[in-house]
Structure 1
Amino acid sequence: MPFTTPHRPYDLAAMWPELAALARTAVRLHPRHGDPTAEQSSIGGPLLWPVDEPWPTCSGPHEWNSLQTLDEVFEERRILDLTWGKRMAREPEIFTAEERATLDRIRQAGRNDARQDQIRTAGAPLLPVAQLFTRDVPGLPFRERFDLLQVLWCPYDHPEAEKYEPAVHLRWRDTSRSVLKPVYPDGNTLVGFDDYVPSRCVIAPEEVVEFPDLGLLPPELRESIKATSERVEAFSYSENALAPGWKVNGHGAAWMITDVVDVRCECGAEAKPLLTAATGGMDGLTSTWLPLEERDIAADIEKRYSYSVDVYLGRGYDLQIFHCGLDPEHPPVMEMS
Structure 2
Amino acid sequence: MLAVAQLYLRDVPGLAGPPGADVLQLLWCPRDHRPHYCPSPMLRWRRSADVTDVLTEQPEPEVMEYDSYLPLPCVLYPEQVVEYPYEDFLPRDLRKRIRTWEKSSGRRYFSELSIAGGWKVGGYAAWNLTDPYPMVCEDCGADMDLLMKIDSGEWDGTESWRPLEDAGPENEFNEHPNRWQPTEITIGRGYALWIFTCPVSFDHPHGVSMQ
Which residue is equivalent to 1:139? 14
Q: CA deviation at 1:333?
A: 0.8
Structure 2 unmatched ranges of 5 or more: none
Which residue is equivalent to 1:217? 90
Secondary structure of 1:334's counterpart equals: strand
Relative to structure 1, is the Cα distance of residues 151 and 299 closer, same or farther in structure 2, using a 3 angstrom cutoff?
Answer: same
Contact 1:246 1:283 in 2 (8 A): no
In the TM superposition, 1:1-337 aligns within 5 A as 126-142=1-17, 144-158=19-33, 161-176=34-49, 178-183=50-55, 185-187=58-60, 189-229=62-102, 231-238=103-110, 239-252=112-125, 254-267=126-139, 268-279=141-152, 281-295=153-167, 296-300=171-175, 303-305=176-178, 308-337=182-211
In the alignment of these two chains, the number of paired residues is 204
Which residue is equivalent to 1:11? none
- TM-score calculated relative to the size of structure 2: 0.86
CA distance, structure 1, for counterparts of residue 81 and residue 158 of structure 2: 18
Secondary structure of 2:156's counterpart equals: coil
Contact 2:36 2:209 in 1 (8 A): no
Secondary structure of 2:113's counterpart equals: helix
CA distance, structure 1, for counterparts of residue 159 and residue 192 of structure 2: 16
Aligned sequence identity (%): 38
Greater fraction of residues in helix? 1
Relative to structure 1, is the Cα distance of residues 223 and 297 closer, same or farther in structure 2, using a 3 angstrom cutoff?
Answer: closer
Amino acid at match of 2:38: E
What CA RMSD, in Å, does the superposition of the two structures yield over aligned residues? 2.1
Q: CA deviation at 1:264?
A: 1.2
Q: CA deviation at 1:286?
A: 4.3
Q: CA deviation at 1:185?
A: 4.2
In the TM superposition, structure 1's runs of 4+ consecutive aligned residues that sit over 3 Å from their partners are none
Secondary structure of 1:201's counterpart equals: coil
In our comparison, the structure showing a higher alpha carbon Rg is: 1
CA distance, structure 1, for counterparts of residue 188 and residue 94 of structure 2: 32
Q: CA deviation at 1:233?
A: 4.7
Structure 1 unmatched ranges of 5 or more: 1-125
CA distance, structure 2, for counterparts of residue 164 and residue 139 of structure 1: 30
- TM-score calculated relative to the size of structure 1: 0.56
Contact 2:7 2:23 in 1 (8 A): yes
Q: CA deviation at 1:149?
A: 0.5
Q: CA deviation at 1:287?
A: 4.1
Relative to structure 1, is the Cα distance of residues 288 and 207 closer, same or farther in structure 2, using a 3 angstrom cutoff?
Answer: closer
Contact 1:214 1:222 in 2 (8 A): yes
Q: CA deviation at 1:128?
A: 0.6
User: Higher RCO, 1 or 2 (CA under 8 Å, sep at least 6)?
Assistant: 1
Amino acid at match of 1:226: R
